Amino acid sequence: MPERIVVPFGPQHPVLPEPIHLDLVLEDELVVDVVPSIGYIHRGLEQLVQKREYTEYVYVAERICGICSFMHALCYCQGIEHIMELEVPDRSRYLRTIWSECSRLHSHLLWLGLFADGMGFENLFMRSWQLRESVLDVFEDTTGGRIIQGTCKVGGVRRDIGQEKLDEMHRALDPFEEKCRDLGDVFLNDETVKYRLQGLGVLSKDEAYTLGAAGPTLRGSGVAVDHRETGYAAYGDLGFKPVVETAGDCYARCAVRVRELYSSIDLIRRAIEEMPEGPIDVKVKGAPNGEYFSRVEQPRGEVVHYLRGDGTKHLARARIRTPTLANIPALVKMLPGAQLADVPVVVLSIDPCISCTER
């Protein structure tokens, strides 16, 4: 019988963009068991609700994660608005949707580049990040920030996008989509990529559902769950449908993210075309008194902000459950049976965000 050894993987590793830490139990080069460890970069952000007023905590929520920055702010603001029974203007709902989908484009293109890097496909990495730069340019033009936008607030948004800029964004979508489809064609049809990804890190539909996986990890296993279907922000007006694959392997999770690029472009196009006129925020008076579970669909999956107010300017409690935390049990299920050399690819296939997870 082969001797078993334990090899630490992370938190520092040349392939990993995130400080995830796994203890891999190996028999020769084969992974037979995995023990995850979290808490390496814990920052205590949830405790800051005791020191920051509820309107100021939006800035803290944005900094939970740079990649999901806008969506953390959106989830937090929606929760406070529900507790305080605030009705945000239609135009702010559409602007929130545009920036949310730009965040999804930016996140997926970043992930595709890192995924290509994990496979050793450096040219594909550069092409992915070149496209991502154009999305960051849109963020900079419309919000003033490339990563942390600072535009979402309780009661609406801080900035509007003028019609001239909206028209410019709309014209840029067709050539941008063409480039995304050329990029996606490599990820989905290149024989080397398919050979590396197909049949690797398989997670069945029942396993994904039972283990509570989220986002592309869940939908890549055939479970059609996407919180955008509930119609928050402007998604209820835009006719959204989730992207689903059934194979449950690394290739399927990659395919979901590639196809979500096209879906996000279509949602942005329709949001621009149907953009309503009117104000972008409402006045906020008083303080939240009650509790609410707020949910939005981040690029990695559903994020939950549990918020409880007691009628004062400081919240009594904020608790955040991120999609990476939900996907770690699924990752532990995927890895046994993989070769040590394939571990980085399987880990990257869930798109881990440890700053989100550990806060």
Is 46 annotated as contributing to ligand binding?
Answer: yes
Q: Residue 128 burial (CB < 10 Å; 0-12/13-18/19+)?
A: buried
Beta bridge partners of 4: 27
First-to-last C-alpha distance (Å) of the chain: 42
What are the phi and psi torsion angles at 151 (to 5°)? -100, -20
Other CB atoms within 10 Å distance of the CB of residue 173: 15
Beta bridge partners of 310: 289
Is 356 annotated as contributing to ligand binding?
Answer: yes
Q: Residue 61 burial (CB < 10 Å; 0-12/13-18/19+)?
A: buried
H/E stretch holding 6: strand 4-9
Is 320 annotated as contributing to ligand binding?
Answer: yes
Separation of alpha carbons 166 and 146, rounded Å: 18
Is 353 annotated as contributing to ligand binding?
Answer: yes
Other CB atoms within 10 Å distance of the CB of residue 208: 24
Annotated binding site for Ni(2+): 65, 68, 353
User: Binding site residues for Mg(2+), as ranges?
Assistant: 46, 320
List the binding residues.
46, 65, 68, 320, 353, 356
Question: Which positions make up the binding site for Fe cation?
Answer: 68, 356
